[in-house]
């Protein structure tokens, strides 16, 4: 627009109305962005589920420092509601919390002195939508990124998207078809313009959705495989591989997608079990005077025209006499040889196999072994070509199948047709049946590259987790085939090959048209026209460069040690490639091969394989079955933390993950428990101290508890701190060993069982006067321990549930930030155990407290057994070892609270003391035995109200008596034992025995109360 242009008022009104209309349509769900009307209604859900994240992804880079504080509320809301997650993410991103150098250096941890930790994010399709496959990799990779970031390592999690050649081209071609045109009609330039427009319209949703899961990737380094610098890397890789003699053009069997008219990789082919037919027909022996024939069976009669031989097993006596003779191709008249090969299964079909080297990968290999003719009978759209009889030319392959079989029936060449279940290869993107076809393509020689990748694992330069996948790695690389890297598409990286004049065999490989011209001229082709190859590179070719191209290869190869390429690739400390086991070969192996060949370095030293997310019953999630769990809907309802935690905990590397909504709901309740713990600490335990000048200084956590402070604690405090420290040590070790699910489960059990169920309840007796809390110093110590343990646990839990831990950490006392250069976030706080640190613990305190726990549990069990009313307080004599008397006596208030005892009727005494002997001798006492030689004596009168219990037991005795009488009459009735089935009779007798036993037990109870 010219700088002097000034829109008129009418122009402004038109623009305003257009924007208003588009935004109205956006809000009402007609399109998925305020300026686009091109998106289908099927995308409404993903728009609705991610709209709260749109602003953070589009404006975060322009926000002032430390803007958008989501923690301005003085207190926590009354109930847990995960709707705060988007605000926290915006705060993180706008303040660059995910930058590798975001964590400030300090005396305890200096990021500048530590080796980097790198995670290359598997790039999702740029136009894709979030599914559980994305959710699991975000959950796992984010655990690793946040853990190592808190440990003080410069952590780079590189995000980005893949151009998804086939998927994107397919969508743009669908749009063209709806307009009544094709890509051939609009031409390459216009098609690419439309493809880029489609990418711009759809391209931001997947990254926004990844943000909604809490992905702490460095979005300032986000890459797209067709960015200019990434494209330059792709061209450079092709040129260098060609210069090494590793790239060539040749003919080979490929998976051909007729609708898209391109070859596709094995990964893009899905096999489905489908009901088809097995066609039996006659291959007439040439020159036979007796009309002798070979019976042959096929699932694809249309390929008969491409047959080059009929093959039998060399040991098959039925057909061995025909080996060396010829048979006649039906309707064609062409004679082909009968050959012998051990590949043939004598038991399948007729035992004679038609060989079609041009349209079957196994036949192609047999054809090469026997030097057979390779005949292609189809055009690129799978219609019949000039190699078939005139009548069938131009027919679709399935139309030709029916026509040929009908004609063969008329000629008496058919035998029978049987139903047959078969694996049908279909395009993952379009669903069409894939046609194996020999085609001229570009290939990379992989034998040498494969050996290097194989040795990298054998030599332990790369560790694969779990190790059982190493065997699969070896098997594949030991039998690797050359890699077909060309695709007959327009969307993608155009192959940098330039043909000279009209030649198809003479060409130059160059980084640019200018370099191509120079190379052609140097070869003596001055003035000859250069035509660039129409094909584009396989998407996996560019993805294979991802770990190093995203950090500056090849542009930064000669830059200094501070360059991204040097820090995060050439000299990385550890790099982990976390991905699904289903793409171990198609992506992981190719990255290793490309990295070693182009950079002489393994692109990562750890490969962590996760399993597939499946339905609760272990079956594959399927829209047809109706068992798909949508991650966006789940995040909307339960929050990202609950989904992430459900995906990560309780699983092991490489194992598939069954997922159900009950598990997600349970983990939402866990988040709610955390919320309640935080509210108790801040609004009850610290209510009086809150707001004081020394609040954060006294109660805030300034690092691991010192040995001196630990030694001054009472047994319960020593127990919970020891349990906390052992949790930290164990989880640290687990995560370092990539046992992520195991670590996540441990912190859950600690918070739920140890902190919430035990210490938090006991702490009330320290600072609530009505429960025994009278000593201010004891109260203060207990409050400090509560905050300390909760702070430590939140930090360990943060990589798993980042949102709720950040929210709660901001509301408990915490030390002042060490640097003004970073936000005061738990995501940048120190991990509870840094290198070189040791944590205090006390085994004796743990053993003593376990006796205390056993004592309380025994009383609780007795109350349950005797149906003691919830609010009733009972007396008890607690008999413990002499060395435990002081410990237990000091915690009588806690025992009273937890076991609901009568505080005026609790006596603690040592084993063999007079008080203990008296309690044991008391006739009406119930004796309970707990761990550590502990005994509890409770008067039965304290457990039950005798009159009420007698009345209840009498009523129960009468009811049981009637049931016994009724069942006895039935069993003893004439004909029951003779006519009823034995199983029914046995069942009735067992029921009678149970009822009699119950009646006897009730009678004994009445006798004891009399």
pTM, two decimal places: 0.83
Q: What pLDDT is stored for residue 714 in this prediction?
A: 95
Other CB atoms within a 10 A radius of the CB of residue 759 amount to 23
Q: What pLDDT is stored for residue 656 in this prediction?
A: 86
Cα 706 from chain centroid?
A: 39
Yes or no: say if 156 and 116 are a contact pair by the CB < 8 Å rule: yes
Residue 440, SS3? strand
Q: What pLDDT is stored for residue 886 in this prediction?
A: 93
Tokens of residue 492, six digits: 């993608």
SS3 track for 491-559: CCCECCEEEECCCCCCEEECCCHHHHHHHHHHCCCCCCCEEECCCEECHHHHHCCHHHHCCCCCCCCCC
Residue 247, SS3? strand
Among 725, 844, 699, smallest CA distance to 781 is for: 699
Among 913, 915, 940, 912, smallest CA distance to 926 is for: 940
**Largest Cα–Cα separation, the chain:** 120
Among 401, 295, 413, smallest CA distance to 348 is for: 295
Report how far apart, in Å, the C-alpha atoms of 685 and of each of 401, 763, 972 are.
81, 9, 67
SS3 track for 738-799: CCHHHHHHHHHHHHHHHHHHHHHHHHHHHHCHHHCCCCHHHHHHHHHHHHHHHHHHHHHHCC
Yes or no: say if 886 and 848 are a contact pair by the CB < 8 Å rule: no
Tokens of residue 782, six digits: 């207990």
Residue 635, SS3? helix
Yes or no: say if 53 and 89 are a contact pair by the CB < 8 Å rule: yes
Mode of pairing for the β-strands spanning 463-465 and 486-487: unpaired
Alpha-carbon Rg of the chain, whole angstroms? Answer: 38
Yes or no: say if 354 and 338 are a contact pair by the CB < 8 Å rule: no
Yes or no: say if 312 and 322 are a contact pair by the CB < 8 Å rule: yes
* Entry field: residues in the chain: 1010
- Contacts of 25 by beta carbon, 8 Å cutoff, 6+ apart: 31, 37
| Beta strand extents in 225-322 (DSSP E only) | 247-257, 262-264, 269-285, 293-298, 309-312
Residue 998, SS3? helix
Yes or no: say if 493 and 234 are a contact pair by the CB < 8 Å rule: yes
> In which residue ranges of the chain is pLDDT below 50?
1-49, 51-52, 54-66, 106-111
Tokens of residue 235, six digits: 């061209």
Q: What pLDDT is stored for residue 23 in this prediction?
A: 40
**Residue 521: how many CA atoms within 13 Å on its side-chain side?**
8
Round to whole Å and give the CA distance between 453 and 584. 12
Q: What share of the chain is helix, strand, coil (3-state, %, to 5)?
A: 50, 15, 35
Among 677, 696, 672, 701, smallest CA distance to 764 is for: 677
- Contacts of 243 by beta carbon, 8 Å cutoff, 6+ apart: 509
User: pLDDT of 29-61, one tens digit each?
Assistant: 333 333 332 333 334 444 444 544 544 444 444
Measured in degrees and rounded to the nearest 5, phi and psi for residue 224 equal: -125, 135
- Contacts of 974 by beta carbon, 8 Å cutoff, 6+ apart: none
Round to whole Å and give the CA distance between 129 and 208. 10
Hey, CA dihedral for 517, 523, 524, 530, is it positive or negative? Answer: negative
Q: What pLDDT is stored for residue 12 in this prediction?
A: 40
Q: What is the DSSP letter of 831?
A: P
Round to whole Å and give the CA distance between 418 and 306. 23
């Amino acid at each position: 627009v010219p700088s002097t242009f000034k829109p008129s008022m009418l122009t402004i009104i038109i623009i305003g109305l257009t924007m208003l209309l588009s935004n109205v349509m956006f809000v009402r769900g007609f399109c998925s962005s305020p300026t686009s009307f091109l998106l289908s209604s099927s995308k409404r859900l993903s728009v609705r589920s991610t709209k709260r994240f749109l602003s953070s992804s589009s404006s975060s880079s322009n926000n002032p420092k430390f803007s958008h504080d989501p923690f301005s509320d003085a207190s926590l809301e009354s109930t847990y509601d995960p709707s705060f997650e988007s605000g926290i993410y915006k705060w993180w991103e706008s303040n660059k919390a995910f930058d590798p150098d975001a964590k400030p250096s300090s005396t305890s941890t200096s990021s500048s002195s530590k080796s980097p930790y790198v995670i290359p994010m598997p790039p999702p399709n740029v136009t894709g939508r979030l599914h559980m496959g994305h959710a699991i990799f975000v959950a796992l990779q984010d655990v690793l990124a946040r853990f190592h970031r808190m440990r003080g390592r410069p952590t780079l999690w590189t995000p980005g998207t893949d151009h998804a050649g086939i998927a994107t081209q397919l969508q743009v071609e669908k749009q063209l078809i709806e307009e009544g045109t094709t890509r051939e009609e609009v031409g390459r330039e216009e098609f690419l313009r439309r493809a880029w427009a489609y990418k711009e319209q759809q391209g931001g949703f997947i990254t926004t959705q990844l943000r909604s899961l809490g992905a702490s990737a460095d979005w300032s380094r986000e890459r797209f495989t067709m960015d200019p610098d990434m494209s330059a890397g792709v061209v450079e890789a092709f040129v260098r591989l060609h210069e090494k003699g590793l790239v060539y053009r040749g003919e080979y069997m490929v998976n051909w997608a007729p609708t898209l008219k391109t070859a596709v990789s094995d990964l893009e082919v899905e096999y489905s079990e489908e009901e088809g037919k097995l066609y039996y027909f006659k291959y007439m022996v040439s020159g036979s005077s007796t009309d002798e024939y070979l019976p042959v069976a096929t699932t694809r009669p249309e390929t008969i025209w491409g047959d080059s031989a009929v093959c039998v097993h060399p040991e098959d006596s039925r057909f061995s006499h025909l080996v060396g003779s010829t048979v006649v191709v039906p309707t064609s008249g062409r004679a082909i040889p009968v050959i012998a090969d051990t590949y043939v299964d004598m038991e399948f079909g007729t035992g004679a196999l038609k060989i079609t080297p041009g349209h079957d990968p196994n036949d192609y290999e047999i054809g090469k072994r026997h030097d057979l003719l390779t005949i292609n009978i189809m055009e690129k759209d799978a219609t019949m070509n000039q190699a078939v009889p005139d009548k069938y030319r131009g027919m679709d392959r399935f139309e030709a199948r029916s026509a040929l079989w009908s004609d063969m029936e008329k000629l008496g060449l058919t035998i029978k047709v049987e139903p047959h279940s078969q694996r049908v290869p279909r395009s993952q993107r379009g669903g069409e049946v894939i046609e194996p076809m020999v085609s001229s393509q570009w290939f990379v020689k992989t034998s040498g590259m494969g050996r290097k990748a194989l040795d990298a694992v054998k030599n332990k330069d790369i560790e694969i987790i779990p190790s059982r996948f190493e065997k699969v790695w070896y098997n594949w690389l030991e039998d690797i085939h050359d890699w077909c890297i060309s695709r007959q598409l327009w969307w993608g990286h155009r192959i940098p090959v330039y043909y000279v004049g009209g030649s198809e065999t003479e060409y130059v490989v160059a980084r640019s048209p200018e370099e191509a011209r120079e190379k052609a001229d140097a070869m003596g082709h001055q003035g000859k026209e250069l035509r660039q190859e129409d094909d584009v590179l396989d998407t996996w070719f560019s993805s294979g460069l991802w770990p190093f191209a995203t950090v500056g290869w090849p542009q930064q190869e000669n830059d200094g040690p501070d360059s991204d390429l040097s820090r995060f690739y050439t000299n990385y400390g550890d790099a982990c490639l976390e991905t699904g086991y289903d793409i171990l070969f198609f992506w992981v192996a190719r990255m290793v091969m490309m990295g070693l060949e182009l950079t002489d370095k393994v692109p990562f030293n750890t490969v962590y394989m996760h399993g597939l997310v499946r339905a609760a019953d272990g079956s594959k999630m399927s829209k047809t079955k109706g068992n798909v769990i949508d991650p966006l809907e789940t995040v909307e309802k339960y929050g990202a933390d609950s989904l992430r935690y459900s995906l990560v905990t309780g699983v092991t590397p490489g194992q598939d993950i069954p997922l159900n909504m009950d598990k997600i709901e349970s983990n939402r309740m866990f988040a709610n428990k955390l919320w309640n713990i935080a509210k108790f600490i801040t609004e009850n335990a610290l209510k009086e101290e809150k707001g004081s000048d020394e609040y954060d200084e006294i109660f805030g956590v300034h690092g691991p508890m010192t040995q001196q402070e630990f030694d001054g604690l009472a047994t319960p405090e020593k127990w919970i701190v020891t349990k906390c420290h052992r949790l930290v040590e164990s989880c640290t070790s687990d995560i370092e060993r990539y046992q992520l699910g195991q670590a996540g489960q441990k912190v859950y059990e600690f918070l739920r069982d140890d902190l919430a169920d035990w210490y938090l309840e006991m702490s009330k007796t320290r600072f609530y006067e009505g429960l025994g809390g009278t000593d201010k110093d004891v109260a203060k110590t207990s409050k400090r321990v509560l905050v300390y343990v909760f702070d430590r646990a939140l930090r360990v839990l943060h990589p798993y549930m980042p949102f709720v831990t950040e929210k709660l950490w901001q509301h408990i006392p915490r030390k002042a930030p060490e640097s003004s250069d970073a936000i005061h976030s738990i995501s940048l706080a120190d991990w509870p155990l840094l290198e070189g640190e040791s944590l205090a613990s006390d085994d004796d305190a743990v053993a003593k407290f376990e006796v205390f726990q056993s004592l309380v549990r025994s009383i609780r069990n007795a109350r349950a057994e005797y149906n003691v009313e919830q609010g009733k307080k009972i007396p008890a004599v607690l008999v413990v070892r002499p060395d435990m008397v002081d410990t237990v006596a000091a915690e009588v208030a806690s025992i009273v609270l937890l076991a609901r005892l009568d505080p005026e009727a609790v006596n603690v005494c040592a084993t063999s003391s007079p008080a203990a002997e008296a309690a044991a001798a008391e006739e009406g006492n119930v004796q309970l035995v707990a761990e550590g030689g502990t005994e509890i004596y409770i008067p039965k009168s304290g457990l039950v109200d005798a009159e009420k219990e007698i009345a209840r037991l009498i009523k129960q005795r009468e009811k049981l008596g009637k049931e016994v009488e009724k069942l006895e009459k039935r069993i003893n009735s004439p004909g029951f034992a003779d006519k009823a089935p034995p199983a029914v009779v046995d069942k009735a007798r067992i029921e009678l025995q149970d009822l009699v036993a119950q009646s006897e037990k009730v009678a004994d109870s009445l006798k004891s109360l009399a």
